[in-house]
Structure 1
Amino acid sequence: MASIDLNSDLGENSADRVVGDDAAMLEIVTSANVSCGFHAGSPEGIRDTLAAAVRNGVVIGAHPSYRDYENFGRIDVEVDSATLQAHIEYQLGALEGLARSVGGTVGYVKPHGALYNTIARDERRAADVVAAIRAIDPRLVLLGLASGVVLDVAERAGLQVAAEAFADRSYLPDGRLVPRPQEGAVLHDPAAVAERMVRLASDGVIRAIDGTDIPVNAQSICVHGDSPGSVAMAAQTKRMLQDAGITISPFARPGAGV
């Protein structure tokens, strides 16, 4: 693999809940998944993050969620198709408007948290999210879990897609992420995280939690902005990828897809 994208979930800070250092992360990553307000963040904070992304030349992605601010969007929510589609359309429209206000454009969509994991396996809700993206802007690229159902649904609907791997999360042998409540689900050692991602970019494999190697074809790597030590992990991952001869570059271009 000659190049790979490095992304982070940002725009999630608010006065009563500060979870990450957006300014520092935006000096490292090539793509920013910016909260749309349903799971975290505030309008003014999200706008500030978007402006900083524009200043740093970082590609902006929309990071919509279930409407679940209390649980940070990490609890699965039962919602009918019409409601889910409307909620995603609302969030994409709001973020696109804020991005334009600071001279930016949204280039892709990466759903957040429980919704992200649900559409990796649930075709009905995957189709709802895809329908919302098509309704707002069919040029937007969908970023989803490598091997997730949503990527197939999106491609069949005519969307461009990109697959993602997680630097700071453990994997099950079937390619799904280890659930967050399970011990060992979230990784914290910058050197170990970086070594895993160099192997991913070079060989297309990740070591699963049971010790087996699983194939993962990904065009982007995520370091969660709210993880402890996330900036150090992102910086070391970028440095070690570059040392291994891997170019760090965005997978999407605003208004032009991949």
Structure 2
Amino acid sequence: GTKLQHVKPHGALYLTAVENEGVARVVAEAIVSVNPELLYVALAGAKGELMRRIGQEVGLKVVYEAFPDRAYTPEGTLLSRRQAGAVIKDPQEVSQRALRMVKEGVVIAVDGSTIPLEAQTLCVHGDTPTAVDLVRSIRQAMEADGVVLTPMGKE
């Protein structure tokens, strides 16, 4: 077998933990009960503050995650997949968004506003048809720009 490194709530659980203190606490406490050394992946930016605070309260190391292949609302949440433009499929656009997230600590929302976020890891959705191209493009852009890539939790 392999050793588990991190826990990231997925889908509706993740989005609920961002907004609901009870759910965020249950998730964090469940992680601690399994292994308090596990990394806890939480949404980067102001909207992830609840998950981060509770994760830290229970003693977890929290890693901040951003999504270069997803559109953000001006409030800092991910635009619903039900809305046009929610998933960004163009490798060039996604790699430029990833660079801004990592180097400048910002993402541009759908209304053009700039949202601050601190990203330590990036998530690209594997169900996007261009996912492999997106990841390759991000890596190439990061390396070309001198960004040092390290395994999560090793920074």
Deviation at 1:252, TM superposition (A): 2.5
> In the alignment, which residue of structure 1 is the partner of 2:59?
158
Deviation at 1:175, TM superposition (A): 1.0
In 1, the alpha carbon distance for the partners of 2:85 and 2:153 equals: 31
Structure 2 counterpart of 1:105, one-letter code: K
TM, length-normalised to structure 2? 0.94
Structure 2, unpaired ranges of 5+: none
Q: How does 1:106-121 map to 2 (within 5 A)?
A: 106-121=4-19
* Alignment partner of 1:143 is 2:41: yes
* Alignment partner of 1:127 is 2:127: no
Structure 2 counterpart of 1:129, one-letter code: V
Matched residue count: 152
Following TM superposition, the consecutive aligned residue runs of length 4 or more in structure 1 with deviations greater than 3 angstroms are none
Structure 2 counterpart of 1:228, one-letter code: P
In 1, the alpha carbon distance for the partners of 2:107 and 2:138 equals: 14
Which deviations, in whole Å up to 9, do the C-alpha atoms of 1:139-164 show, x marking residues without a partner? 10100111311111110111110100
Which deviations, in whole Å up to 9, do the C-alpha atoms of 1:30-87 show, x marking residues without a partner? xxxxxxxxxxxxxxxxxxxxxxxxxxxxxxxxxxxxxxxxxxxxxxxxxxxxxxxxxx
Structure 2 counterpart of 1:214, one-letter code: I
Q: How does 1:94-243 map to 2 (within 5 A)?
A: 100=1, 104-146=2-44, 147=46, 148=48, 149-243=50-144
In 1, the alpha carbon distance for the partners of 2:103 and 2:64 equals: 16
CA-atom RMSD, angstroms?
Answer: 1.1
Structure 1, unpaired ranges of 5+: 1-99
Deviation at 1:178, TM superposition (A): 0.6
In 1, the alpha carbon distance for the partners of 2:150 and 2:125 equals: 18
In 2, the alpha carbon distance for the partners of 1:154 and 1:224 equals: 24
Report 1 or 2 for greater relative contact order, CA contacts < 8 Å, sequence distance ≥ 6. Answer: 1
TM, length-normalised to structure 1? 0.57
Secondary structure of 1:248's aligned partner = coil
Q: Which is higher, the Rg of structure 1 or of structure 2? A: 1
Deviation at 1:182, TM superposition (A): 1.1
Identity %: 39
